[in-house]
């Protein structure tokens, strides 16, 4: 066993032990504890949990690599702005009001505010979006185990499943929340330490967010010499229209994703929900402001070390990642030298997978073995924390919104908890299967998930709060229209299905924004012509806008209001 493997094992065992201990210490026996941690999480902890929940294996492992390797540096700004800008929307438009509404899940809000058929559509969206994400997280776990511990991917995924099972099934949302606080700490330390060390080494400035300016000139120069577009140049790989639409889709998608929104139900109060959004973005920005620096540093090191080098004398990190197939080299001109130019250039001989950049950064920069091991533990923390949050969305959608609200409203607390735990167990098995046999198009399906979030949930959540007269029929029609057009466009344009260029060259990742606008238009139009919500519902929506206690909101949250009063006498699908 190499020293890198030994250190990885040490950090992985220590961090996994910590997660399970925390889950044991915060185990729950109520549905409120299982779904929303009893609603008593203080804002800084909730913010850290949101950050860990939100920053997945994609943020931790892939993002710096996408910035460094996808054409030039500027193009990947859509992820940096898109995935953080959504928090401004969440903090101002959704978080405080949803917290005051006081429910367990996003479908719960939709079902309560609108109708039972809207609830079912929301359940389907939440489950699809969550499974799509979970597949990516689980395969991320597999990659880390395979590369750093030499364990078979399948065994790695199974270890991950067992760990998540232990702490998620035992502790529910409460266990997950406190575990995620620990996971956030592990992942941010693992991300920042190598970044600081590399920045110090390359620029003499130990603050990577500032140091990275020092290397821009050299990086732009090296890129230009090798035939890449300049690192900082705009619109070389993506045009302005797509940059705008993709950024918007990621922002509104973030604000519409069920596993992030559900986090605001766990806050102590409306004020704590607002503060949670602030803390969340603060914790996220520690990583998101560092990622562009890591991307640039790695690109510089790669460009200094590889092009024009003989393959046999390439550095050790090159050899070890090539062994696992994440670096590919084809000596097209047979001169034995690595010829590295833009990927679109026919003479390019080198393909580097985006996912190796963060994991390989410490090795590329020649940092010691313990740091490499720490980064591996950080990658696992990022993947497992997001996976557990998503699995909770799935299990609460099934147990609360389908089983309790639709199938057996008389179920006891203990029975609901049992169903929640069984649903969680089932979801983990499916997630593990998807992780071991990932659908070949994970990257595209993730884009699809954001499109779905933006096009289905965002408009009806915002209108549900800000427009008292938004009707159930309007919201249902809006969700179907937004979701349907987005799904159709994506299937039509994604390479492996339609492969079409689409309309005006709009990218499949970008269409979520259009779908969202369609949803808004349809919801508003249909609402003009359909039965208005009852007086009680309009009063309730108005009440959640103001601070302080309202009898109506409290009675509603406690489930004491008569359904006929809220929804009128002919509510669809009720009492069936």
Taking the least distance from each CB to other proteins, the nearer of 293 and 326 is 293
Which residues, other chains included, contact 347 with Cβ-Cβ below 8 Å and sequence gap of 6+? Answer: 332, 333, 339, 341
In the complex with other proteins, the residue whose CB is nearer, 226 or 241, is 241
Nearest 5 degrees, angle CA 12-CA 59-CA 159? 30
Closest approach of Cβ 190 to other proteins, in Å? 20
Q: Which of 88, 226, 324, 411 lies at the binding interface for other proteins (CB under 8 A)?
A: 88
Spatial separation of the C-alpha atoms in residues 266 and 261, rounded to whole Å: 10
Furthest-apart CA atoms within the chain: distance in Å: 80
- Count CA atoms closer than 13 A to 495's CA, side-chain side: 7
- Closer to other proteins by CB, 84 or 177: give it: 84
Three state DSSP letters for 418-477: HHHHHHHHHHHHHHHHHHHCCCCCHHHHHHHHHHHHHHHHHHHHHHHHHCCCCCHHHHHH
Binding mask of the shown chain, residues 59 to 78, with x at each position contacting other proteins by CB under 8 A: --------x-----xx--x-
**Where in 523-552 is the site for other proteins (CB under 8 A)?**
542, 545-549
- Cβ proximity of 452 and 249 under 8 Å: no
Task: Give 88 or 422: the residue with its C-beta nearer to other proteins.
Answer: 88
Specify the DSSP class assigned to residue 221.
H
Q: In terms of CB distance, is 230 or 311 closer to other proteins?
A: 230
Q: Is 92 among the residues that bind other proteins (CB under 8 A)?
A: yes
Alpha-carbon distance of 471 to 94, in angstroms, equals 18
CA distance 490 to 451: 9
- Report which DSSP code applies to 156: H
Select 3 or 412, whichever has its Cβ closest to other proteins.
412
* CA 159 vs CA 14, 166, 175, 356, 384: distances in Å: 14, 11, 19, 22, 11
Minimum Å distance from CB 245 to other proteins?
A: 10
CA dist., res. 62 & res. 566, Å (int)? 46
**Alpha carbon distances (Å) from 83 to 323, 343, 393:** 33, 26, 20
Query: Closer CB to other proteins, residue 338 or residue 419?
Result: 419
Q: Which is nearer to other proteins, 166 or 289 (CB)?
A: 289
Q: Which is nearer to other proteins, 15 or 254 (CB)?
A: 254
Site string for other proteins, 216-255 (x = CB under 8 A): xx--------------xxxx----x--xx--xx--x----
Binding to other proteins (CB under 8 A) within 254-273 occurs at 265, 268-272
Q: Which residues in the 98-117 window bind other proteins by CB under 8 A? A: 99-100, 102-104
One of 131, 252, 264, 288 touching other proteins (CB under 8 A): 288
Dihedral of alpha carbons 243, 192, 65, 376, sign:
negative
Give the shortest CB-31-to-other proteins separation in angstroms: 9
Binding to other proteins (CB under 8 A) within 140-199 occurs at none
Provide the sign of the torsion angle of the four alpha carbons 499, 505, 510, 514, taken in this order: negative
Which positions touch other proteins (CB under 8 A)? Answer: 32, 35-36, 38-39, 67, 73-74, 77, 80-81, 84-85, 87-89, 91-93, 96, 99-100, 102-104, 209-210, 212-214, 216-217, 232-235, 240, 243-244, 247-248, 251, 265, 268-272, 274-275, 277-278, 281-282, 285, 288-289, 292, 542, 545-549, 553-554, 556-559
């Amino acid at each position: 066993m190499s020293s890198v493997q030994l250190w990885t094992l040490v950090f992985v065992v220590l961090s996994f032990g910590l997660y399970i201990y925390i889950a044991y210490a915060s185990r729950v026996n109520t549905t409120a504890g299982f779904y929303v941690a009893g609603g008593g999480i203080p804002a800084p902890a909730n913010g850290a949990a949101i950050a860990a929940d939100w920053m997945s294996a994609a943020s931790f492992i892939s993002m710096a690599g996408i910035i460094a390797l996808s054409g030039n540096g500027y193009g990947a700004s859509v992820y940096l702005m898109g995935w953080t800008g959504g928090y401004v929307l969440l903090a101002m438009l959704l978080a405080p009001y949803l917290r005051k509404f006081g429910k367990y899940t996003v479908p719960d809000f939709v079902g309560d505010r609108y109708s039972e058929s809207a609830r079912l559509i929301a359940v389907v969206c939440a489950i699809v979006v969550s499974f799509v994400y979970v597949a990516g997280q689980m395969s991320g776990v597999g990659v880390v185990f395979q590369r750093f511990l030499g364990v078979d991917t399948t065994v790695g995924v199974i270890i991950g499943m067992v760990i998540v099972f232990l702490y998620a099934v035992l502790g529910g949302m409460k266990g997950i929340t406190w575990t995620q606080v620990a996971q956030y700490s592990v992942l941010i330390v693992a991300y920042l330490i190598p970044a600081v060390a590399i920045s110090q080494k390359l620029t003499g400035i130990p603050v990577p967010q500032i140091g990275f300016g020092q290397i821009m000139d050299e990086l732009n120069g090296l890129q230009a010499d090798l035939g890449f577009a300049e690192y900082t140049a705009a619109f070389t790989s993506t045009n302005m229209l797509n940059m705008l639409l993709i950024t918007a889709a990621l922002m509104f998608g973030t604000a519409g994703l069920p596993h992030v929104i559900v986090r605001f139900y766990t806050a102590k109060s409306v004020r704590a929900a607002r503060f949670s959004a602030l803390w969340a973005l603060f914790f996220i920005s520690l990583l998101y402001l560092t990622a562009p620096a890591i991307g640039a540093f790695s690109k510089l090191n790669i460009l200094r070390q590889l092009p024009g080098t003989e393959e046999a004398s390439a550095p050790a990190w090159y050899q070890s990642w090539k062994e696992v197939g994440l670096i590919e080299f084809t000596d097209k001109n047979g001169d034995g030298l690595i010829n590295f130019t833009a990927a679109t250039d026919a003479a390019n001989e080198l393909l580097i997978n985006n996912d190796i950049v963060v994991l390989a950064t410490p090795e590329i920069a020649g940092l010691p073995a313990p740091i490499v091991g720490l980064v591996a533990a950080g990658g696992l923390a990022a993947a497992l924390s997001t996976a557990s949050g998503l699995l909770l969305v799935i299990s609460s959608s099934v147990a609360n919104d389908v089983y309790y609200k639709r199938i057996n409203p008389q179920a006891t607390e203990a029975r609901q908890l049992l169903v929640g735990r069984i649903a969680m167990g089932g979801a983990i098995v499916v997630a593990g299967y998807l992780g071991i046999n990932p659908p070949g198009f994970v990257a595209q399906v993730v884009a699809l998930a954001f499109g779905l979030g933006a096009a289905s949930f965002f408009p009806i959540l915002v209108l549900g709060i800000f427009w008292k007269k938004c009707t159930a029929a309007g919201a249902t029609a809006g969700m179907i229209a937004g979701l349907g057009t987005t799904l159709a466009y994506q299937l039509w344009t994604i390479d492996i299905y339609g492969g079409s260029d689409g309309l005006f060259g709009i990218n499949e990742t970008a269409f979520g924004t259009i779908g969202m606008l369609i949803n808004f238009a349809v919801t508003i139009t249909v609402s003009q012509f359909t039965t208005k919500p009852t007086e009680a519902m309009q009063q309730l929506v108005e009440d959640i806008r103001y601070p302080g206690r309202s009898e109506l909101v409290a009675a509603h949250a406690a489930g004491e209001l008569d359904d006929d009063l809220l929804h009128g006498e002919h509510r669809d699908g009720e009492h069936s």
